[in-house]
Amino acid sequence: MNAMKLSLIRSACSGLRVHPRSRAGGWTRRCPTVGPAAGQSTFRAASDATGRGTSAKLGLHLRQQSRKTDGSECAASLREVVQHTKDAMDVLQRRNPPIQPLLAIVQAGEDDSLLEINKKMAGKIGLNITQICLAKQFSEDEIVEEVLKLNEDPRVHGIYLHLPSAALTTRVLETLKPEKDIDGISDLNIGRLVRGDLSKGFVSPLASAVLDVLEKHDAPLEGKTVLLVGGEGRVGSALQCLIERSGMVALKNNWNLEILQRQVMQSDAVVLLGGGNIDILPTCFRPGAAVIHCEPTLESDDHAFELSSRSGIGYLTAAYRAQNVVRSCSRWIQGQQYRPWRLRSLKLQPLTPVPSDIEISRAQIPKPVNQLAEEVGLLPEELEAYGRSKAKVCLSLLDRLHTQPDGKYVLVAGITPTPLGEGKSTVTIGLVQALSAHLSLNSFACLRQPSQGPTFGVKGGAAGGGYAQVIPMEEFNLHLTGDIHAITAANNLVAAAIDARMLHEATQSDKALFNRLVPSVNGVRKFSPIQFSRLQRLGIDKTNPASLTPEEVTSFVRLDLDPSKITWQRVVDTNDRFLRKITVGQANTEKGQIRETGFDIAVASEIMAILALADSLEDMKNRLARMVVGTSRSGQPVTTEDLGVSGALTVLMKDAIKPTLMQTLEGTPVFVHAGPFANIAHGNSSVLADKLALKLVGRDGFVVTEAGFGADIGMEKFFNIKCRASGLRPNVVVLVATIRALKMHGGGPNVSAGAPLPKEYIDENLSLVAAGCHSNLKKQIQIAHLFGIPVVVALNVFKTDTQAEIDLVCEIAKGCGASDAVPCNHWAQGGRGSIKLAQAVNEAASRPSNFQFLYNIEMPIADKIRTIAQKVYGADDIELSPAAKDKIDYYNQQGYGLLPICMAKTHLSLSHMPDKKGAPTGFVLPIRDVRASIGAGFIYPLVGTMSTMPGLPTRPCFYDIDLDPVTGEITGLF
């Protein structure tokens, strides 16, 4: 057989599951399928429209034919193609049992002749077929609509447009996905054929069938002349290309009688491709010339291998079409596998002095997010773009890459910080820039989304800084993809539901409440699904509302919330101190339902903590349903599911659960997701972002995520809460330190945001540095070792630091047990300034770790609190207030005793006393109260007074933030 003939699939991809979207229901309502054993076809008609019908039949009347191709030639090829395709199909399904390749035929009218031929081939090979029948009169829009649906359906592996040539407009062909164009009519597939690149595209099945018959008819083919009659379309062009690549000469005639007879006399074969009606004299044919009819006439005999010359080409074409469908399915499976990265880094040209953050950000043009996604192995259908520079990533990625080994997991934590922050975000970004852009190691940064509270308040944004930033930084810091707004909406819906329910219970009888909560619709009264959950919690095993007893009706309709024990507050993502305590219900319409409540900042909402800890949409829904909003007068917890609002919360959060993809200044990928407080919550980015990134980077790649505040808070909660929830185990801890923070812990004066730094922090002072290293730095290294994880100290270098101070820190850190300690200059140099850190992390990650939790989850609540206080903070013991003891007893009674602990304490000291620096000892940790986030899944003891609503300073950051109305550029962000 000729070498240019399409090769057959002899192997298939292994180890892959069906794309999650293929599990969606409703398939038979849109595209009914014809399986291999089905007895008859099924149809779906489209709306009527004007247009042409199917193409005219082919017709060349031969008074005598020199040599007509017989059915045996087609039958031999047919058996061979069918057998090879069946073999490929068997291998494909043996390795991927859920996969069933599907061919979709789009045609005008309900003519079954073509379907019958393809159905017979499907039955022999094992394909499914669906037939979509447009009206006889159809429009271009209808074709495009059908093609778009089939393009996006992962169950469809091949699309055959059996339509008139005039209907295959440029718009239609541009809409058709080349990877599903199994008839090879799209521009890309025709172009690939012309170039001779058959590794990705498809060749017309009819052209392949004709070439096959020519090969069987007379060999060798080289130098033969083939006349194509009526082949002005794309199929004719494809056949001409195949013929010429096989060494033959192709002549074309579009039914021009004047030259047709002369061309027939010159030709070794005549292929009839188009409609026409011309008589040819027998003397016109060369002796032994073949005549191939391309009209697919269906024979009445069901035995597909007993073929005439006309029906033979039809069946052989159908066999090649089926082969292309199997090949398309195999390619789709291969496309679902892990894709090696092809990351193109962006070049940096650092300036001295270093410009402002926003100037640096604006000077770098980010890659289009779809390009970045492709570089890191994401599929187009896994991306939901929000503009040019950011996009949501679908969780279906986890199903697609479920067999892919995780990469290495790195946590960036810090020593106890000054109020100015020590640069964990910049270290995180500088590290991934160094790993990917300079060491060519796949790496992902996973960061929290910043609240607009600090952005407009005192601290500014959280996109990093200098030449280690996420870009565009203004988009990162302002709104992003609206996740915090979704949390605000969901949180406040719960608050509204609480107050409304209390009002209605206070002003209505049991019967009135029941009739409104379970209304009669068209004479039928029934419970909604979420109400069955409440009935189950109450121990009522009934499905008919009419069967409830009066006592059961009362239990069902009355949550009986105690106003003094409502724990749920409203939220807003602004530092607004005057909302810390408010009074609601003062209007006359609220009928005296007045109570005190307050606002938290949006990122302090329990819904934010849930977003960060959920590992699937279902898990998030269950966690949202478990949230406790208060306690009834009888002492029972009341949940959002009891309120009937948890399903609506999931709807509001359905997009927020998807991480947002962005990039660093050097074009390396970043996931931005979630932003829980690091005091009353766990202060880490999301489990889902980490899991997605760990799959994408590959076995030898790195995922670098950041913990809030110092290692005593963010890191401890990362290990004991987030790692318990996710099942993930870190390989390395990067502990960020600054010389100014070490000087503060060594006895230096206090530091205040906005105030000039005292001279001790500007001038060299080795004694303060050494004291800070031997106290706070040493203690934080020891905390990491409690969990069995190696530590690399990253010294974030400032321009006021001296070389002697830098060398001293690195020397003492190694002496305190760090695997390595390196200075980092990423702020001024980008990834190049963190190459040594990247090398140290890579080396530390290659060593075995012995991760362990700090406490057993089954320990009593008080003992878990005590373990953290003594081993992490250095306290002698804890002191529980009477209120804290009562709460612990209550939580044990309600079955919450097995939850992990999330300590709420100051971040400015290892102790509960903000002014106690270094590594305090000899103190007792006071626990004034104990609260629970049941949906998030932790108990949080309160150590001192925690503010969940920051206030604005005298001169907030918003004084400097403005918009240029001419250019549209934002100024003042830093």
* 290-293 and 278-280 strand pairing: unpaired
Backbone Cα Rg of the chain: 35
* 383-385 and 391-393 strand pairing: antiparallel
Q: Are the C-beta atoms of 478 and 365 separated by less than 8 Å?
A: no
**Residue 868: which H helix or E strand, with range?**
helix 861-868
Dmax (CA) for the chain in angstroms is 115
905: nearest Cα among 913, 917, 897, 915: 913
163: nearest Cα among 272, 294, 53: 53
Distance CA 99, CA 80 (A): 24
Active site residue 459: yes
| SS3 letters across 25-85 | CCHHHHCCEECCCCCCCCCCECCCCCCCCCCCCCCEEECCCCEECCHHHHHHHHHHHHHHH
Token pair belonging to 97: 């049992």
Q: Which residue is catalytic, options 27, 255, 305, 798?
A: 798
Q: Are the C-beta atoms of 109 and 53 separated by less than 8 Å?
A: yes
Active site residue 362: no
Token pair belonging to 717: 């909660």
Q: Are the C-beta atoms of 730 and 722 separated by less than 8 Å?
A: no
Alpha helices in 869-907 (DSSP H): 882-893
Q: Which residue is catalytic, options 285, 332, 568, 827?
A: 827
| SS3 letters across 736-779 | EECHHHHHHHCCCCCCCCCCCCCHHHCCCCHHHHHHHHHHHHHH
Active site residue 169: no
Active site residue 69: no
**Residue 524: which H helix or E strand, with range?**
strand 524-525
Active site residue 827: yes
Other Cβ atoms closer than 10 A to 386: 17
Q: Which residue is catalytic, options 426, 455, 664, 738?
A: 426
Q: What letter does residue 663 receive in the DSSP assignment?
A: E
Q: Are the C-beta atoms of 198 and 6 separated by less than 8 Å?
A: yes
Q: What letter does residue 707 receive in the DSSP assignment?
A: B
325: nearest Cα among 26, 99, 54: 99
Distance CA 745, CA 780 (A): 12
Output the CA angle 84-86-89, nearest 5 degrees: 115
Tracing tokens 């004084």 back to the chain, one arrives at 959
- DSSP conformation letters of 241-303: HHHHHTT-EEEEESS-HHHHHHHHHH-SEEEE-S---EEE-GGGSPTT-EEEE---PPPSSS-
Q: Which residue is catalytic, options 424, 570, 691, 905?
A: 424
Q: Which residue is catalytic, options 390, 459, 691, 887?
A: 459
Distance CA 869, CA 491 (A): 32
Token pair belonging to 68: 């007509």
Token pair belonging to 708: 């809030």
3-state secondary structure of 599: strand
Distance CA 332, CA 17 (A): 11
**In residues, how long is the chain?**
974
Q: Are the C-beta atoms of 193 and 246 separated by less than 8 Å?
A: no
What residue type is assigned to position 191 of the chain? G
Spatial neighbors of 455 by CB under 8 A, at least 6 apart, are: 461, 462, 477, 478, 957, 973
Q: Which residues pair with 443 in a beta bridge?
A: 702
Q: Are the C-beta atoms of 693 and 671 separated by less than 8 Å?
A: yes
Active site residue 678: yes
Active site residue 702: no
Q: Which residue is catalytic, options 341, 709, 719, 787?
A: 709
Q: Which residues pair with 672 in a beta bridge?
A: 447, 660
Q: Which residue is catalytic, options 678, 681, 844, 936?
A: 678
Q: Which residue is catalytic, options 192, 224, 448, 864?
A: 448
Output the CA angle 235-237-242, nearest 5 degrees: 95
Q: Just list the catalytic residues.
A: 424, 426, 448, 459, 678, 709, 798, 827
